[in-house]
Structure 1
Amino acid sequence: MLIIRKEQMETFEEYMIDAFNKKMVLHLSNVCPEETASVSDEELSLVVKNGLEKAESYDITEENDIQRFLEHMLVHGPGFDDGSDPVVQEILHDTDLDGEDKMDKIDFYYGKGEED
């Protein structure tokens, strides 16, 4: 039987988060060139880390949905979820919606997608 120690799982988790972070830095640099032009990769990496924590706090946990959340942070400002827009707040705090549905509604609200 294979036994994975807690330390091994933590190392693997750190590796996966780092790989995701690098992937998102590259993605965001490509899809949001104007917003990232004056930002170093290190700074963008911190934005991704912060955005990942924010997204998870709203139960947005799938890679594609987190990616869309990060894109909105860059385009609409890192505090787009801070409460200044009641529509976004209502969507993000709706416990009847999963992460994908939340991001679909936010995309639609900002004119990026189609609502079901």
Structure 2
Amino acid sequence: MHTIRNQQIDTLRQVPLDVFEERMVKHLYEHFPQRSQKLGQRKVREDIRYSMERAKIYGIVTERDVCKYLNIVFAFHRDFDTDPELPWAGEILNNEELFSGKLKVDCLHETALKYVDE
């Protein structure tokens, strides 16, 4: 009988995150090439990890929703959610009537598109 140690379990949990992070790096370089190249791969990865933690605070946890959140981060900046110049972001993310991460990120995405078009 084989025993799996806690360290091995933690490593197995990390694999999907690493795969997701790699996909997001490629996605961001494809869709936000100037910003990604300016930041460099190390900083892009840092921003992905930081933004995933921020998104989690707001209940945004699925791959699809985190990807949309990252798009907004790269369209604005990593602390857009607390930026007084973008009050709509915090209002949406802290709106208790938007009870799911999907609703929040969809509303955020729609509003961000309108904001950029203005």
Q: Give the paired residue count.
A: 111
State the Cα distance separating 1:5 from its structure 2 match.
Answer: 5.3
- Equivalent position of 1:92 in the other structure: 93
| Structure with greater helix share of residues | 2
User: Counterparts of 2:87 and 2:4 in 1: how far apart (Å)?
Assistant: 45
Q: Which runs of 5+ in 2 are unaligned?
A: none
CA distance in 2, matches of 1:42, 1:83: 24
Which amino acid in structure 2 is aligned with residue 51 of structure 1?
S
Q: Which amino acid aligns with 1:100?
A: K
| Aligned: 1:67 with 2:82 | no
Match of 1:55 in 2: 55
Equivalence for 2:109: 107
One-letter amino acid matched to 2:31? V
Residue ranges of structure 1 left out of the alignment (5+ in a row): none
Q: Quick one: percent identity of the two aligned structures?
A: 26
Residues 34-81 of structure 1: CA deviation (Å, up to 9, x unaligned): 221212211111110101111111110010110111111111111111
What letter corresponds to residue 107 of structure 2 in structure 1? Answer: K
- CA shift, 1:94, in A, is 2.0
**In the aligned structure 2, how far is the partner of 1:92 from the partner of 1:102?**
6
- How do 1:20-59 and structure 2 match up within 5 A? 20-59=20-59
Bigger mean CA deviation after superposition, 58-67 or 103-112: 103-112
Q: TM-score, normalised by structure 2?
A: 0.83
The TM-score with structure 1 as length reference comes to 0.84
TM-aligned CA deviation for residue 83 of structure 1: 4.1
1:90, 1:5 → 2: CA distance?
44
Q: What do you get for the CA RMSD once the two structures are aligned?
A: 2.0
The letter for the 2-side match of 1:96 is E
Give the counterpart letter for 2:89 in structure 1.
V
